[in-house]
Amino acid sequence: MNVIWAPWRMAYIKRAGLSDGACIFCLPPEHMGPDRDRLVLYSDSAVLVMLNLYPYNNGHLLVAPRRHISALSEADSRERLALMDQAARATEILGAVMAPQGFNLGVNQGKVAGGSVEAHLHLHVTPRYLGDANYMTVFGRTRVISEHILTTFNQLVKPFNE
Q: Which residues form the domain of 129?
A: 34-160
More confident: 85 or 2: 85
Query: Does a structural domain hold residue 103?
Result: yes
- pLDDT at residue 138 in the model: 47
Does the annotation mark 124 as catalytic?
A: no
Query: Does a structural domain hold residue 68?
Result: yes
The SS3 assignment for 104 reads strand
Query: Does a structural domain hold residue 66?
Result: yes
Query: CB atoms < 10 A from the CB of 39, how many?
Result: 21
Q: Confidence class of residue 16 from pLDDT cuts 50, 70 and 90?
A: very low
pLDDT reading at 17 higher than 80? no
Average pLDDT over residues 110-133: 81
For 151, phi then psi, to 5°, come to: -65, -45
Query: Does a structural domain hold residue 7?
Result: no
Which residues contact residue 105 at a Cβ distance below 8 angstroms, ignoring those fewer than 6 apart?
A: 87, 91, 123, 124, 125, 126
- pLDDT at residue 148 in the model: 84
Tell me what the pLDDT averaged over the chain comes to.
Answer: 83
pLDDT reading at 7 higher than 90? no
pLDDT reading at 42 higher than 90? yes
Q: Which residues, listed in sequence order, are joined to residue 12 by a DSSP beta bridge?
A: none
Query: Does a structural domain hold residue 24?
Result: no
pLDDT tens digits, 62-120? 999 999 999 999 999 999 999 999 999 999 999 999 999 999 999 988 777 666 677 88
Catalytic option among 60, 120, 122, 124 = 122
| Number of structural domains in the chain | 1
Average pLDDT over residues 125-136: 75
CATH no. for residue 87?
3.30.428.10
